[in-house]
Amino acid sequence: MPQLNARTAPHRTPVRILVAEDEPFIRHAIAEELRTLGVFVIEAATACEAWDYFTGGGQADLVFTDHQMPGEMTGAELAVRINSLYPSLKIILTSGSVKAQDWSGPVLRKPYLPGKTATGLVELALRSRPNGTER
């Protein structure tokens, strides 16, 4: 399988992925792997920061959010809110434990391999983009 590079993929703008993770080491690891693939990464330390990004007009091709974070909102609550505004936006929740009633979408169990996960996130983001259009 050829190496995926978001810079050379057939689209107009770099893939944009929002990473919401309260643990700096984990957030930095996945963000750096994504950047290596040419992704424009938006980092948020809380679900509220991520929500503020979207309500402020920010855009992304995919959201990768931890479930258990400090603050007023969990990652699952963030996912539900974003999904209500942008139903076609891909959202992947990551957690060591998440209840089925919290989020019905995809969940990646922790721990995960940052390199392999980053490649999968970029592939999913590229597949979800409408042909020839920007989000």
CB within 8 Å of 124: residues ≥ 6 apart: 62, 90, 92
The whole-chain average pLDDT of the chain stands at 86
Residue 125 forms part of a structural domain: no
Overall domain count for the chain: 1
Residue 31 forms part of a structural domain: yes
Residue 36 forms part of a structural domain: yes
- What pLDDT is stored for residue 131 in this prediction? 62
Tokens 């990646």 correspond to: 108
Structural domain that includes position 24: 16-116
Residue 1 forms part of a structural domain: no
What is the CATH number for 103?
3.40.50.2300
- What pLDDT is stored for residue 51 in this prediction? 97
Residue 3 forms part of a structural domain: no
Q: What is the pTM of this model?
A: 0.85
Q: For residue 7, is pLDDT > 50? A: no
